[in-house]
Amino acid sequence: MAVDATPSVKLNKVEKVKAAKDGLAVRDELEKLVEQGWENMDKGDLEVRLKWLGVFFRPVTPGLFMLRLRVPHGCLNVEQMTALAEIVQQYGDEGSADITTRQNLQLRGIRLEDVPNIFKTLKRVGLTSIQSGMDNVRNLTGSPVAGIDPDELIDTREMMQKLQDAITSDGEGNPRFTNLPRKLNIAIEGARDNSIHAEINDIALVPAFKNDVLGFNVVVGGYISAQRAAESIPMGVWVPAEDKAVIDLCCGILSVYTDNGLTEGLRTSRAKARLMWLVEGWGVEKFRAEVEKEIGYSLAAAAEQDEVTQEKKDHLGVHPQKQEGFNYIGLHIPAGRLDAELMFELARMADTYGNGEIRLTVEQNAIISYVPGDSVEAFLSEPLLERCSIEPDTLTRSLVSCTGKAYCNFALIDTKSRAMAVAKQLDAELDIPERVRMHWTGCPNSCGQAQAGDIGLMGAKVRKDGKTVEAVKIFTGGQVGHNSKLGEIAHKGIPCDELPDLLRQMLIDDFGAKPKVTA
Ligand code: SRM
Ligand code: SF4
């Protein structure tokens, strides 16, 4: 849907690109663009519009693109994981994949000329990468143990797939929802532990009973950006746990957001374009009334309380499922980084021991489900467990990291490898009695959700000894689960080489860590 730009409204840079040609238009021009080659492509197509197909030009590795998929709920099957492993394998050392902080997968090293065939493969195995970047609805997140969690209230998997189908027109691309004023994150929680980070999603549904009927309370407007981190606020409505009600609500909000983006000034400044700005500009009452007008019926008032009552789980280790005799096993994937070999192995393990499902988590780990009790021992003795432990050391266990300098041109620092090295060093030096979630993010965009960590580390630069060096801002106090809260800045401008000493002291002072006694 092209924006009807009136001369009186100043459009931001990206809106101008979209007004010149709709983002989704590249879907029908792909073959022509591939023939043209990325070196000769119009900048708007290369750097902006291709992201509507999930194809990301990487200035750090020109010619080697990143492909961001959509994996609603983080659920993949053996056939899908194997197909993705084969894609990554063809790029040899340049190929890899990352599990993202939206329980999604990104493939790396992709050459543009291979994209049409890759799309055919994705379609064959029931996957899509459509509308996964830029001003679109991003990967839909849900509990990674939906359908198998003994404490679960609502299995949201089918609902989530239907919602993705509605938003993307069954993965083909949907002009109605492809020109939002900005990105939009949706999460639906069916469990009690807020595994989805409801507080930082633009739209989040959390389980709640109303008159003994199970449904969802709705919170809106949560987001993090370089300029502002905002916790979501109650929309004051409740919807039953029915596909139609959930799809109506989400699509209603998307329509209102899209259609009012110009008149409400959201398309003028990228920094003031997320859903929260519309909600705050109108006030929650008007926002709700506009959504009701759009969907054509009144929404019920929110239930008094929601059912998010538990600490956030990390799902690592062996856990009994609600299906008697079966277990799900959470594997730690260091910094979420995969290679083809590991992807094939995950597929094989899911096929051999489980029901063929591989689930991804927002902590960038993987879960294999339906492992019978009498197969657990054999599972745990597989060589994969040496690389992907079920019980890593404390800091390593809870580490989350964004892409960083290796592939992202916004990055001010290297993240994944440094994060792993620092965690490993401090795990070796300290006994840490409690879980400490360290979230690393390479720049203020905070894709690694620094504000959600017990300790959040955000890339920065400082001058040290007359040189500009890599540094971090440190956030503390981020809480997840039923008492979620965003962390605040505790230290600024810490050069990365001084970080282990400072973190060691913080862990001792604030988290009860003790130096390990060596014999
Ligand atoms: Fe992000 C932009 C990576 C989750 C906030 N994000 C980017 C880009 C596309 C920038 C670029 O073109 O290089 C990064 C691609 C780097 C690469 O090559 O991987 C990027 N974001 C990621 C991922 C891969 C981080 C990760 O390692 O897991 C995550 C992909 C999720 C997915 O599967 O779709 C990712 N990004 C997030 C999150 C976390 C979340 O959703 O819970 C946030 C903060 C929450 C939010 O959006 O409210 C986030 N990313 C941003 C922003 C700031 C948005 C804003 O409103 O200003 C940008 C910059 C932008 O959009 O202008 C950004
Ligand atoms: Fe890139 Fe910054 Fe996002 Fe990290 S936080 S992936 S460095 S944009």
Q: How many angstroms is it from 234 CA to the middle of ligand 2?
A: 28
What is the DSSP secondary structure assignment for residue 517, as one 8-state letter?
Answer: P
Q: What is the DSSP string of 465-512?
A: TTEEEEEEEEEE--B-GGG-B--EEEEEEEEGGGHHHHHHHHHHHHH-
Indicate if ligand 1 lies below 6 Å from the C-beta of 69: no
303 pLDDT more than 60: yes
pTM for the predicted model, two decimal places: 0.97
278 pLDDT more than 70: yes
The side-by-side arrangement of strands in the sheet containing 400-401 is 400-401, 438-441, 455-464, 467-476, 488-495
Amino acid 481: pLDDT: 87
Amino acid 7: pLDDT: 52
Q: Which of 445, 446, 451, 457 to mutate to test the pocket of ligand 1 (most atoms within 8 A of CB)?
A: 445
Indicate if ligand 1 lies below 6 Å from the C-beta of 186: no
Q: How many angstroms is it from 447 CA to the middle of ligand 2?
A: 5
Amino acid 490: pLDDT: 97
Amino acid 339: pLDDT: 97
Q: How many angstroms is it from 451 CA to the middle of ligand 2?
A: 14
Amino acid 518: pLDDT: 73
The pair phi, psi for residue 5, each rounded to 5°, is -80, 120
**Rounded Cα distance, 369 and 144, in Å:** 10
518 contact partners, CB below 8 Å, separation of at least 6: none
Helix, strand, coil percentages in the chain from 3-state DSSP, rounded to 5:
40, 25, 40
**Rounded Cα distance, 290 and 257, in Å:** 10
**C-alpha closest to that of 104 among 69, 52, 55:** 69
- Average pLDDT over the chain, rounded to whole? 96
Residues 132-149 have pLDDT tens digits of 999 999 999 999 999 999
Tokens representing residue 205 in the block: 């549904």
Amino acid 517: pLDDT: 84
Q: Are 361 and 330 in contact (CB under 8 A)?
A: yes
Model confidence band, residue 6 (pLDDT cutoffs 50, 70, 90)? low
Indicate if ligand 1 lies below 6 Å from the C-beta of 101: yes
With a pLDDT cut of 90, the percent of the chain lying above it is: 96
Residues 407-442 have pLDDT tens digits of 999 999 999 999 999 999 999 999 999 999 999 999
Residues 70-102 have pLDDT tens digits of 999 999 999 999 999 999 999 988 999 999 999
Rounded mean pLDDT, 155-166: 98
Q: How many angstroms is it from 356 CA to the middle of ligand 2?
A: 32
**Rounded Cα distance, 233 and 221, in Å:** 6
Q: Are 95 and 111 in contact (CB under 8 A)?
A: no
Residues 326-343 have pLDDT tens digits of 999 999 999 999 999 999
Helix (H, G, I), strand (E, B) or coil at 342: helix
The residue count of the chain comes to: 519
**Rounded Cα distance, 510 and 90, in Å:** 47
8 pLDDT more than 80: no
Nearest CA to ligand 1 atom 43: 447
Closest listed ligand to the CA of 275:
1
Amino acid 108: pLDDT: 97
Residues 172-215 have pLDDT tens digits of 999 999 999 999 999 999 999 999 999 999 999 999 999 999 99
Q: Are 362 and 314 in contact (CB under 8 A)?
A: no
2 pLDDT more than 70: no
Q: Which of 441, 470, 472 to mutate to test the pocket of ligand 2 (most atoms within 8 A of CB)?
A: 441
**Rounded Cα distance, 397 and 378, in Å:** 23
Closest listed ligand to the CA of 54:
1
164 pLDDT more than 70: yes
Q: Are 206 and 219 in contact (CB under 8 A)?
A: yes
The residues carrying an active-site annotation are: 68, 182-183, 442, 447-448
1 pLDDT more than 70: no
What is the DSSP secondary structure assignment for residue 271, as one 8-state letter?
Answer: G
The Cβ of residue 301 has, within 10 Å, a number of other Cβ atoms equal to: 12
Nearest CA to ligand 1 atom 28: 100
Question: Which atom, in ligand 2's list, is nearest to the CA of 411?
Answer: 7
Closest listed ligand to the CA of 360:
1
Closest listed ligand to the CA of 224:
1
Nearest CA to ligand 1 atom 7: 447
Residues 377-412 have pLDDT tens digits of 999 999 999 999 999 999 999 999 999 999 999 999
Q: Which of 66, 447, 457, 472 to mutate to test the pocket of ligand 2 (most atoms within 8 A of CB)?
A: 447
519 pLDDT more than 70: no
Amino acid 92: pLDDT: 84
